[in-house]
């Protein structure tokens, strides 16, 4: 059993589903857990529940809408002011949007929320993470990356928008980012790995009309629970046996093969 006493772990998208269960799991291992979410009232309630369920009082909540770059930057400033160490960063927040929407920055929401938030928050915190080494960065991706393709002339789906393709594209971007960042951090003591949580019954696609909503409604009874879906993220954030493993993609707590497109170094660097 991993011991995370004295370690600070930040988990985004931590008021629902996989993120909530990841935060609970890390709190049970003794970490000082910082939850990030959009809803202040819900965040406070979830933090209180995790304290009670884990028996760990070191659980904080910080509010931010990660689709907005100004809020990502404000969140990073808050984290750096509050926490002298960042031992684990779990980039978990994500969503799927049936209709093409733009953020406050004028960016397509799937790309902004599922990828740019990972990229921006990680880079804003990176000096502190490196200074805290040995440290870990965990990026929650998905097997949906296999259907993702990056058209660098249309990353935001202006020419053609499909929720399936936009989501797959964002999850592919998570892997391109993971692999490139792992190489950039070689020798620093910071590992970077990606997780596929499996098909999990969460509030992830709730509120979407059309095919996404229908499919989630049909398959929800057959999906994993959020607690089951969180196990790989918890493993990557804490397991001592993978302390030196970096630049890998995991499913069911085991290394897995990602698509050929995810290993395209030119695409990794161009996306960066």
How many whole angstroms separate alpha carbon 85 and alpha carbon 117? Answer: 21
Q: Is 118 considered catalytic here?
A: no
Phi, psi of 246 (to 5 degrees): -145, 155
Nearest to 97 by CA among 113, 81, 86, 84: 113
Sheet containing 135-140: order of strands:
59-63, 32-37, 8-12, 88-91, 135-140, 190-196, 248-251, 254-255
Q: What is the separation of C-alpha 67 from the centre of its chain, rounded to a whole number of angstroms?
A: 13
Catalytic residue among 167, 179, 235, 249: 167
List of residues 6+ apart from 229 with CB closer than 8 A: 17, 18, 21, 197, 198, 200, 202
- For 147, other C-beta atoms within 10 Å of its C-beta total 16
How many whole angstroms separate alpha carbon 173 and alpha carbon 170? Answer: 5
Residue numbers annotated as active site? 167
């Amino acid at each position: 059993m991993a011991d995370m006493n004295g370690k600070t772990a930040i988990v985004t998208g931590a008021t629902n589903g996989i993120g909530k269960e990841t935060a609970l799991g890390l709190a049970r291992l003794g970490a000082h857990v910082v939850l990030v979410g959009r809803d202040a009232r819900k965040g406070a309630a979830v933090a209180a529940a995790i304290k009670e369920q884990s028996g760990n009082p070191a659980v904080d909540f910080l509010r931010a809408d990660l689709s907005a770059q100004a809020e990502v930057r404000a969140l990073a400033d808050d984290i750096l002011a509050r926490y002298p160490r960042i031992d684990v960063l779990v980039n978990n927040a994500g969503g799927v949007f049936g209709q093409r929407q733009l953020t406050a920055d004028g960016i397509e929401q799937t790309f902004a929320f599922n990828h740019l938030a990972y990229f921006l928050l990680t880079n804003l915190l990176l000096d502190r993470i490196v200074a805290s080494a040995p440290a870990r960065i965990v990026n929650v991706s998905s097997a949906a990356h296999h259907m993702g393709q990056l058209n660098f002339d249309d990353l935001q789906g202006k020419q053609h928008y499909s929720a399936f393709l936009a989501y797959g594209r964002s999850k592919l971007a998570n892997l391109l980012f993971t692999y490139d960042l792992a190489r950039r951090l070689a020798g620093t003591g910071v590992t970077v790995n990606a997780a596929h949580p499996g098909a999990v019954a969460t509030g992830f696609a709730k509120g979407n009309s059309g095919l996404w909503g229908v499919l989630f409604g049909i398959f929800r009874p057959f999906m994993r629970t959020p607690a089951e879906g969180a196990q790989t993220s918890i493993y990557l954030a804490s397991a001592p046996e993978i302390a030196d493993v970096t630049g890998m993609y995991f499913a069911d707590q085991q290394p897995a093969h990602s698509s050929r497109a995810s290993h395209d170094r030119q695409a990794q660097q161009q996306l960066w």
